[in-house]
Amino acid sequence: MLRRIIFVSILGFVFLMNHASAKGGFESGIHYEILSKPVVTANPKKIEVIELFWYGCPHCDALDPSLKKWVSKLPEDVYFTQMPVVFGRSWEMHARMFVVAKNLDLMDDVHDAVFNALHREGQRLQDEAEVVAFFERFGADPKIVRRELKGFSTESALRLSDARVRAYGIRGVPALVVNGRYVTGVAQAGSESKLFELLDFLIEKSRSQ
């Protein structure tokens, strides 16, 4: 009886070790989800990693510095981008700010500043006048900012974001999608450091497909 128990225990241990080794320690359905219908990426020649986020999200704010460091070391065949998500009325203006900053080529200056304004300076950035004044700090023309906040390109970007969110099936942020097929986040990975290990794993997995 004891010999049988030991034998079964060894088999179980070997199975778990082989399973972890084969999967890199990450499993679909636990650490990431596989979309049944992959979403077309912007550049089929590169592996796309996209972060879906909200400026008002404290978890997105906390992740951003580490995410930047990880992105700075990505190989040439990987393309990283971000997309604002609108899950509520208070999210919409912040999404519009992201698009306007991108259209006016102010993202390098504005991105961190929005996070700081919301999470460390007590600003809400919901009122149009407040948002226009915010952009003025970075040399933007108020008339152009007002136009862009309600412009066609901004509306189109928000519609695209909404369509992507539904296609990815995400319900919270920050969410990361690799190559239009694998969806994950910090909670699924277990920690920030594990998230980046997981993203590297999913990038490598995408290369082999």
Q: Distance between CA atoms of 195 and 69, rounded to whole angstroms? A: 13
Q: Distance between CA atoms of 56 and 119, rounded to whole angstroms? A: 7
Q: What average pLDDT does range 201-206 have in this prediction?
A: 98
Beta strands across the sheet bearing 175-178? 33-34, 182-184, 175-178, 47-53, 78-84
Please indicate whether residue 89 or residue 6 has the higher confidence score (pLDDT).
89
Does any domain span residue 5?
no
Residues 191, 206 contacting (CB under 8 angstroms): no
Q: How confident is the model at residue 19 (pLDDT cuts 50, 70, 90)?
A: very low
Residue 140 belongs to domain spanning = 28-207
Q: What domain count does the chain have? A: 1
Instruction: Write down the mean pLDDT value for the chain.
Output: 91
CA angle 72–56–68, rounded 5-degree value: 5
Does any domain span residue 177?
yes
Q: CATH number, domain at 128?
A: 3.40.30.10
Q: What average pLDDT does range 81-92 have in this prediction?
A: 97
Taking only the tens place, the pLDDT of each residue in 185-198 is 999 999 999 999 99
Does any domain span residue 9?
no
Does any domain span residue 18?
no
Does any domain span residue 21?
no
The pair of structure tokens assigned to 77 is 């065949």
The pTM for the full model equals 0.88
The pair of structure tokens assigned to 114 is 């929005």
